[in-house]
Amino acid sequence: MITLNINKKTYNVDVDPNTPLLWVLRDTLGLVGTKYGCGIAQCGACTIHLDGNAVRSCVMPVSAVGSKKVTTIEGLSEKGEHPVQKAWLEHDVAQCGYCQSGQIMSVAVLLRENKAPTDADIDAAMSGNICRCGTYLRVRSAIHAAAELQRKKA
């Protein structure tokens, strides 16, 4: 039995220790906001936070989580009021939406560490999140807007 702290709740899961965290989230716990894209840490769709770092859950064995705190898109905010989520809606970023939870989780880390990112900062932070619909320009606009919202909130 493995004990996990996910979105401020404690879960006990009976799974093979080598199981990727992504499959525990989706298949065992039903937290399906986090997506499977490539399975080899290349696309970013499965990005979650592990003690605040934007980790690829598809390559992280559940046994490596230990006592670290996992945050998924479901736990980023209580009612979708995180500045990034708000900006995402305002800018109508999503097209098919498959990559969005991973994108948003990566942006949340960027804006925590850099309150006013430049386009270059955004490119450096987001180059690992692939969008097959090519919404990159809207992603970038929304990140600037989210930074602005975050500054106003502060």
Partner 1 sequence: MEQHTQGSILPVKTIAVLCGMVTVAVIMSFGFKEEIIADRHTRQGMEKDSAASVAAFMDVYKVLMSPRCMNCHPAGDVPLQGDDSHIHSMLPQRGKEGKGVYAMKCSNCHQKENLEGPNKPPGHPDWHLPPASAKMVFQGKTPEQLARQLVNPKTNGNKSLQQLIEHADDGLVKVGWNMGEGRTPPPISHAEFKKAWITWIENGAFAPKGK
Closest Cα to residue 48, out of 24, 18, 70?
Answer: 70
Residues 111-130 binding partner 1 (CB under 8 A) are 113-114, 121, 124-129
Q: Are 45 and 106 in contact (CB under 8 A)?
A: no
Question: Which of positions 13-72 make contact with partner 1 (CB under 8 A)?
Answer: 18, 40-42, 44, 47, 53-56, 59-61, 64
130, 37 in Cβ contact below 8 A?
yes
- Residue 14's Cβ-side half-sphere holds a number of Cα atoms within 13 Å equal to 0
Token pair in block for residue 63: 């046994």
* 84 sits near partner 1 (criterion: CB under 8 A): no
Least Å from the CB of residue 96 to partner 1: 21
Beta carbon nearer to partner 1, 9 or 123: 123
Q: Which stretch binds partner 1 (CB under 8 A): 79-87, 90-98, 102-110, 136-144?
A: 102-110
d(CA 141, CA 120): 13
- Give me the least distance between CB of 111 and partner 1, in Å please: 9
User: Is the CB of 3 or the CB of 127 nearer to partner 1?
Assistant: 127
Sequential DSSP letters for 25-72: IIIIT--TTSPPS-SSSSS-TTEEEETTEEEETTSSBGGGTTTPEEE-
| By the rule CB under 8 A, 12 interacts with partner 1 | no
Catalog residues that contact partner 1 under the rule CB under 8 A: 18, 40-42, 44, 47, 53-56, 59-61, 64, 105-107, 109-110, 113-114, 121, 124-129
